[in-house]
């Protein structure tokens, strides 16, 4: 746990929380993951520095406090810099450290102490201080001890921040955040939320076939959703249905080839599945709504479409009961029925064929055929926007009158800038007040560019949303992120998830874990 807290602390010190960093940009960093980068032991000869993989430098053999890891820097006189470094020692209960500068002018060396801090045994500790250099010929920045001349110690993430727009020093090419190595085991999201609600993700079909990806998912998530594989366009067999329609226009043929790998894995490993989605205007073959399953022919009548709807829902749910009993614990019965412009029902093929009660009918059939205890959800986005929210609430009220709905799924595809936490909170409070079960079904939070600052803002919003849902833990079934790694997201350009493209946990991951504690 201490190691994990240390990672949290490190995540917290990235970016905006350091003094003077609001307007400053990182212009230099030693991550010690690609050599010593010019660092050497300042000493009379006894001290030695060496790399301590994956990202630290170790110094030993010291005989004086000033025997220290140091490096020459081309500092610009009169520029306000901020310096930070992390230090760790294992030999004393507490030891004091300083960042100092040795500057020389005409061969005469003089010194200033720039930052101080006390490091407890075994704990990475951040020293941080501001420095505006005077006029000298040479500057050596170094990390020394106070009254601990023989102490061996480690340093990492020596960083220099300078005014915005300033040229970067040597090794910084871009503001790419360095994700900190996780010491010890990665915390598990599902364990962090155990006893509160399920924490899950969606998984695209191709990754459901990867043992490695699924083993990772199994370690982190207690519930999974096939990202696209249970949508009508993956399940409805249009050719098969067309053949059946010659005999019976209400007949429907279905198959589950794309969803099977995920369902099989979940079944074998005791992972819950949330089904997405039975009835939707999108990702549903146009032919479904036409006579003879032929898009050249007119739309079918209400009676025929209700027959198709019932047959489709029945066959999907019966297949799941037979083949995957207990695996699918909940379903999005209807998705995104409310129009963003009018805040009324969307003018979809469902409305055009069945009519305005199509949502109620879908819930009626889902209740009729779902295994007992399966939770039935209506799922939608932009719930935080007042007009849309009104439309969603009106729809929920009408469906609730018939008693077949259990809950509401907030998609929550957000940006760090929008919507505000106040409006998200108001939306959750309002729908929670309707006494429906709740879930966050498709959480992701986009940023415009990868930077430490944006990673921190993203982490803060993830944390806020988790704390909000924890207030409703008794009423909430699950929070699910819409993807695992940023590069696999449906909006990869927004880096909206908890893990980066290499699978490293981002500050947002730790914020989600921390919110549960």
Spatial CB neighbours of 471, under 8 Å, sequence gap ≥ 6: none
Nearer to ligand 9MR, 71 or 414 (CB): 414
442 binds ligand 9MR (CB under 6 A): yes
Count of residues binding ligand 9MR (CB under 6 A)? 8
Nearer to ligand 9MR, 188 or 487 (CB): 487
310-339 residues in contact with ligand 9MR (CB under 6 A) are 335
Which residue from 128, 220, 374, 411 is in contact with ligand 9MR, where contact means CB under 6 A? Answer: 411
486 binds ligand 9MR (CB under 6 A): no
* Residue (of 398, 270, 379, 389) closest to 329 by Cα position: 270
Query: How many Å apart are CA 91 and CA 121, to the nearest integer?
Result: 7
Which residue from 227, 364, 453, 514 is in contact with ligand 9MR, where contact means CB under 6 A? Answer: 227
380 binds ligand 9MR (CB under 6 A): no
Nearer to ligand 9MR, 442 or 514 (CB): 442
Query: How many Å apart are CA 327 and CA 278, to the nearest integer?
Result: 16
Q: Helix 358-369 and helix 302-323: axis angle, to 10°?
A: 30
Query: How many Å apart are CA 82 and CA 21, to the nearest integer?
Result: 7
By beta carbon distance, the residue nearest ligand 9MR is 490
Query: How many Å apart are CA 272 and CA 374, to the nearest integer?
Result: 12
Asked whether the beta carbons of 69 and 155 are under 8 A apart, the reply is yes
286 binds ligand 9MR (CB under 6 A): no
Cβ-based neighbour number of residue 401 at 10 Å: 10
Binding mask 130-159 for ligand 9MR (x = CB under 6 A): ------------------------------
Nearer to ligand 9MR, 227 or 486 (CB): 227
The single residue listed with the structure tokens 């980068």 is 37
228 binds ligand 9MR (CB under 6 A): yes
Query: How many Å apart are CA 64 and CA 54, to the nearest integer?
Result: 27
Looking at the chain, how many residues does it have? 517
Residue 375 beta carbon to ligand 9MR: minimum distance, rounded to whole angstroms = 18
Residue 51 beta carbon to ligand 9MR: minimum distance, rounded to whole angstroms = 42
Residue 491 beta carbon to ligand 9MR: minimum distance, rounded to whole angstroms = 8
Residue 441 beta carbon to ligand 9MR: minimum distance, rounded to whole angstroms = 8
Query: How many Å apart are CA 516 and CA 471, to the nearest integer?
Result: 11
Question: How many degrees, rounded to 5, is the angle at CA 287 between CA 313 and CA 369?
Answer: 5
Nearer to ligand 9MR, 442 or 477 (CB): 442
Question: How many degrees, rounded to 5, is the angle at CA 48 between CA 46 and CA 52?
Answer: 155
Asked whether the beta carbons of 406 and 377 are under 8 A apart, the reply is yes
Residue 513 beta carbon to ligand 9MR: minimum distance, rounded to whole angstroms = 24
* Strand order through the sheet with 68-73: 40-42, 68-73, 138-146, 94-105, 108-120
Residue 204 beta carbon to ligand 9MR: minimum distance, rounded to whole angstroms = 6
490 binds ligand 9MR (CB under 6 A): yes
Active-site positions read: 336, 442
> Is 503 in a helix, a strand, or coil?
coil
Residue 228 beta carbon to ligand 9MR: minimum distance, rounded to whole angstroms = 5
Query: How many Å apart are CA 358 and CA 376, to the nearest integer?
Result: 15
Nearer to ligand 9MR, 282 or 323 (CB): 282
170 binds ligand 9MR (CB under 6 A): no
Binding mask 266-285 for ligand 9MR (x = CB under 6 A): ----------------xx--
Query: How many Å apart are CA 346 and CA 356, to the nearest integer?
Result: 10
Q: What is the binding site for ligand 9MR (CB under 6 A)? A: 227-228, 282-283, 335, 411, 442, 490
């Amino acid at each position: 746990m201490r190691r994990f807290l240390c990672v949290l602390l490190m995540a917290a010190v990235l970016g905006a929380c350091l003094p003077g960093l609001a307007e400053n940009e990182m212009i230099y960093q030693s991550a010690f993951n690609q050599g010593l980068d010019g660092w050497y032991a300042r000493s009379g000869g006894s001290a030695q520095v060496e790399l301590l993989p994956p990202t630290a430098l170790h110094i030993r053999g010291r005989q004086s406090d000033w025997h220290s890891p140091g490096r020459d820097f081309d500092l610009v006189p009169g520029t306000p810099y901020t310096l930070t470094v992390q230090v760790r020692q294992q030999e004393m209960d507490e030891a004091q450290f300083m960042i100092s500068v040795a500057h020389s002018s005409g061969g005469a060396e003089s010194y200033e102490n720039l930052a101080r801090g006390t490091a407890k045994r075994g704990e990475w500790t951040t020293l941080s201080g501001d420095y505006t250099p005077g006029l000298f010929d040479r500057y050596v920045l170094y990390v020394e001890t106070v009254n601990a001349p023989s102490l061996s110690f480690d340093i990492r993430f020596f960083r220099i921040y300078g005014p915005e727009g300033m040229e970067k020093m040597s090794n910084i090419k871009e503001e790419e955040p360095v994700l900190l190595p996780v010491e010890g085991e990665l915390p598990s999201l599902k364990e962090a939320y155990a006893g509160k609600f399920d924490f899950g993700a969606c998984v695209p079909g191709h990754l459901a076939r990867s043992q490695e990806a699924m083993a990772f998912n199994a370690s982190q998530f207690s519930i999974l959703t096939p990202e696209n594989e249970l949508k009508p366009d993956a399940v409805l067999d249009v050719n098969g249905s067309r053949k059946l329609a010659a005999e019976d226009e209400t007949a429907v043929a279905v198959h589950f080839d794309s969803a099977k790998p995920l369902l099989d894995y979940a079944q074998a490993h005791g992972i819950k599945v949330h089904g997405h989605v039975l009835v939707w205007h999108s990702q549903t073959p146009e032919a479904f709504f036409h006579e003879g399953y032929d898009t050249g022919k007119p739309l079918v009548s209400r009676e025929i479409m209700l027959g198709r709807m019932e047959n489709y829902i029945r066959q999907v749910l019966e297949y799941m009961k037979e083949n995957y009993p207990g695996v699918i614990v909940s379903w999005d019965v209807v998705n995104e029925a409310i129009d963003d412009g009018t805040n009324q029902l969307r003018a979809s093929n469902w409305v055009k064929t069945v009519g305005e009660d199509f949502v109620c009918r879908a819930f009626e059939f889902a209740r009729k055929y779902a295994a007992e205890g399966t939770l039935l959800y209506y799922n939608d986005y932009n719930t935080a926007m007042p007009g849309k929210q009104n439309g969603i609430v009106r729809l929920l009220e009408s469906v609730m009158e018939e008693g077949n709905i259990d809950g509401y799924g907030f998609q929550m595809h957000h940006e760090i800038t929008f919507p505000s936490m106040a409006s998200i909170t108001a939306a959750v409070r309002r729908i929670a007040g309707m006494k429906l079960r709740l879930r966050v079904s498709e959480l992701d939070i986009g940023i415009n560019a990868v930077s430490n600052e944006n990673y921190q803002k993203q982490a803060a919003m993830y944390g806020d949303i988790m704390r909000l849902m924890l207030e409703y833990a008794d009423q909430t079934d699950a929070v699910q992120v819409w993807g695992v790694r940023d590069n696999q997201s449906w909006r990869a350009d927004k880096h909206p998830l908890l893990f980066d493209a290499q699978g490293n946990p981002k500050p947002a991951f730790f914020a989600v874990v921390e919110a549960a504690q």
